[in-house]
Amino acid sequence: MNASLCFRKMQYLTALLFFSAIPLHAEKKLRSPWDSHRIKLTTESYACPAVEHLSPDLTTSGFYSDSKSSIIDPEKWKAYAASSGPYKALGDRVVAAADTYQSTGSREAATCALEHMDAAAKDAVFTGKMSSNQACYVQGWVIGAVSIAYLKVRDSGLVSKSQKETILPWIEKVVSQSQSYYDAHRQKSSGDAQNNHLYWAGVEVAAAGIATNNRQLFDWGMDTYHAGISQIQPDGSLAQEMRRGQRALHYHLYALAPLIYLAEFGEDNGLHSYAERDYAIKKLVDLCTAGLEDNSFFVKATGIAQDTPNGPPAAEQISWAKTYLTRFQNPQLTKLLEQATSLSYMYLGGLPPAPHSQG
């Protein structure tokens, strides 16, 4: 082989090695609805509650007394509230601090949220044994709320290297348990892997995926959105939630909330989530909105009087609308949102994000 040919071959091999080391397309950093809203730090004070240390295990049970899971047993509820309460209180403390930071810029509030997350991570909360399906649900609701709270404070400039290295692996470990739970239940076609519980798990895992920039987690979460949208009937109803007797409307609203958040996560990351199945989610929104004023559709469909509405809409029923209305006009929903006395819902990480169109 002459020297010139040898040199050209070496150039080719060098170039091949160089370009093979470069991804064909660099993955963009996963974004959340809070990333475009820069918060200016302030010195506003915040009374941070003391850290409460919790076990990695959670022992709790369900609280319904009937096969439709529609009638709450008072004694079971009391036991559930006592056993799950300290774990839910962790979520309450974290999201309250994160929301105060979002609304006031309080350095102390952001620091408080991170302090409680860091302590929970060091205690390995939720990484142990979950005693029941209900324990798995609580695990998901709270870690989902914590993940969203982390998204609210991650750009504060106050997350230390050690906190990031403690909190994010903990979040990933907990949500991996949720993935395993629902993957197993989906294989068995279990009810909670086909209804609102799956969508709530989706919010939990997708939010964790955004926080950790883990595309696999994000994609898993968005897959639950596809599953939920595929369940929407032409009239906007959800067959799995219509089976819940007197709580059919309640559970339609309960299923809608996580689906709206998943749609927002998708839109913020280049997916046209709202448009899926020709904007099927708008049919669910319209049905639920109408139900909050007149639940006769659900009464007729189930043959049972509904326990919703009951006064002004609660945060768990309507907080999602704050974000939805920045994308779609709906005078009836706007009116209902104005009646709400609070929009802070811990399961969704506290207050909804500011309008997506703001910079």
CATH assignment at residue 309: 1.50.10.100
Is residue 7 assigned to a domain? no
Into how many domains does the chain fold? Answer: 1
Taking 70 as the pLDDT cut, the residues of the chain under it are 1-27, 355-359
Is residue 12 assigned to a domain? no
Is residue 195 assigned to a domain? yes
Is residue 168 assigned to a domain? yes
**81-91: pLDDT as tens digits:** 999 999 999 99
Is residue 21 assigned to a domain? no
| pLDDT score, position 27 | 66
Is residue 167 assigned to a domain? yes
Is residue 252 assigned to a domain? yes
Q: Which are the contacts of 282, defined by CB distance < 8 A and separation ≥ 6?
A: 274, 328
Three-state secondary structure along the chain? CCHHHHHHHHHHHHHHHHHHCCCCCCCCCCCCCCCCCCCCCECCCCCCCCCCCCCCCECCCCCECCCCCCCECHHHHHHHHHHHHHHHHHHHHHHHHHHHHHHHCEHHHHHHHHHHHHHHHHCCCCCCCECCHHHHHHHHHHHHHHHHHHHHHCCCCCCCHHHHHHHHHHHHHHHHHHHHHHHHHHHCCCHHHCCHHHHHHHHHHHHHHHHHCCHHHHHHHHHHHHHHHHCECCCCCEHHHHCCHHHHHHHHHHHHHHHHHHHHHHHHCCCCCCCHHHHHHHHHHHHHHHHHHCCHHHHHHHCCCCCCCCCCCCHHHHCCHHHHCCCCCCHHHHHHHHHCCCCCEHHHCECCCCCCCCC
| pLDDT score, position 192 | 86
| pLDDT score, position 191 | 83
Does the global pTM surpass 0.75?
yes
Strand partners, 345: 350
**What domain range is 164 assigned to?**
29-348
